Amino acid sequence: MIEGLKLTIPQRLQFLRIVVTISLLISVCLSINLWGGYRDFPHAPLLTFNFNIVPYDSVIISLSCFFLVASLFFKNTRSFIFLALLLTVFLILLDINRLQPWFFYYSIILFIFLFYNGRVDDSNKFTATFIILQFVIASIYLFSGISKINSTFVSNDFIELISPLKNSLTARQFLFVTKVGITIPYVLIFIGLGLIITPLRYLAITLGCVIHLCLIVFLLPSKSNQNYALWFMNIVFLGVLFLLFSGKTKQRYFSPAILFQKPLFYIIMILFWVFPFRNLTNNYPNNLASNFKSGNNNSFELTLTKWQLNQVEPYIKHFFVKKDTLYNLQYNKWCLHELKTDCYPEDIVFKVIYNQFYKIAILNVKETQFIIKPKQRLFSTK
């Protein structure tokens, strides 16, 4: 274990910054169409401009990646990280789909490093930064588990995850594995709490490694698993777990009072421990809470008639499935195929998708169904 390497906290912080920076670069490359490549899937901007900003997306993300690389080799590390994050935040304002869980977590970790100058002469300061990072990671496991305590997790998400086992297990064995999924939310909750409670830490690390190893296997990139960056995040979190929690992770004479003197501590506690509770009632976006999977289970249905479907270009037709006499859009499948990531499941994205089909297919309001679930709201086309 890392304990045998006897890494000091400053060394762990340095390795963590390097690992997360490289991981962010790799993840952007794994979903490059989301950031600056060619795409048919519509942008969902939070800001509107009088000119078309889309052709410049690739320039902005290239410049952001350049600053991230520069932060690894030049002295002004924090300045380069700040510039890189500033540009990526601007890109998110141009398309909310870019606010993926992995991007949010990597960015928050790098954001915390903006407040750490790398000095090793004051153990209280670098230990406080280290503990703040521990709170971030522990929160992700805790609230990811809490959000999965619902009636749809096992029947939808978990069964979809373990679906490759159907070919190698009997029906009875597969049913047993399905029932095991009921314990997953509570295991994640235990990991989140165990990472904070020192006597439980090694068991929590072990369970965390088991969870991520299983996800690495089940989410292995394939035709059916195209969210490459989410798969890669599980590899990254294996290293993060050991760097932040394994071995000696607190200075002997650390004073907890130092934490309460840091404004950053209150920002992180509100963002990762207070706001996620609001997400449990769908009052806060899940992508900005603590969860390994984006979205707060919002979804929508867009159905076309056969005549309307014929107005759509052949490529996009592949993402419609027939339901009785109408055709339903599989919007997340479309997003995964093009952007290699999940669609951001919020109203702003749904409206943009609908508007695109309204323009293409000259949709008739009386013939077209566009329904938001679970809120069951029907948008007006006026």
55-78 pLDDT tens trace = 788 999 999 999 999 999 998 899
The bridge status of strand 299-304 relative to strand 320-323 is: unpaired
How far apart are alpha carbons 88 and 107 in whole angstroms? 9
Section 231-257 average pLDDT: 85
| Extended strands (E) in the chain | 299-304, 320-323, 326-329, 369-373, 377-378
Work out the number of other CB atoms within 10 angstroms of the CB of residue 95: 24
Is the pLDDT score of 374 beyond 60? Answer: no
Work out the number of other CB atoms within 10 angstroms of the CB of residue 65: 19
Position 372 confidence tier, pLDDT thresholds 50, 70, 90: low
Position 295 confidence tier, pLDDT thresholds 50, 70, 90: very low
H or E stretch covering 196: none
The bridge status of strand 320-323 relative to strand 326-329 is: antiparallel
242 vs 153, residue with greater confidence: 242
Its pTM stands at 0.87
**Neighbouring residues of 236: CB distance < 8 A, sequence distance ≥ 6:** 19, 20, 23, 102
Is the pLDDT score of 363 beyond 60? Answer: no
The pLDDT of residue 141: 93
Query: What residues does 328 pair with on adjacent strands?
Result: 303, 321
Section 29-50 average pLDDT: 85
Rg of the chain taking only CA atoms, in angstroms? 22
Is the pLDDT score of 291 beyond 90? Answer: no
How far apart are alpha carbons 49 and 77 in whole angstroms? 32
The pLDDT of residue 366: 44
The pLDDT of residue 236: 96
Section 255-268 average pLDDT: 86
Backbone torsions φ then ψ of 373, nearest 5 degrees: -120, 145
Section 305-333 average pLDDT: 87
The pLDDT of residue 240: 95
Cα 316-319-325 angle, rounded to 5 deg: 105
Query: In what side-by-side order are the strands of the sheet with 377-378?
Result: 320-323, 326-329, 299-304, 369-373, 377-378
The pLDDT of residue 47: 75
As a whole number, the mean pLDDT across the chain is: 83
DSSP state of 366: T
Domain limits, the chain? 2-31+100-288, 299-378
- Residue 131's nearest CA partner among 195, 219, 194, 189 is 195
Is the pLDDT score of 243 beyond 70? Answer: yes
Is the pLDDT score of 121 beyond 70? Answer: yes
Position 289 confidence tier, pLDDT thresholds 50, 70, 90: low
- Residue 296's nearest CA partner among 182, 161, 169, 146 is 146
Is the pLDDT score of 287 beyond 60? Answer: no
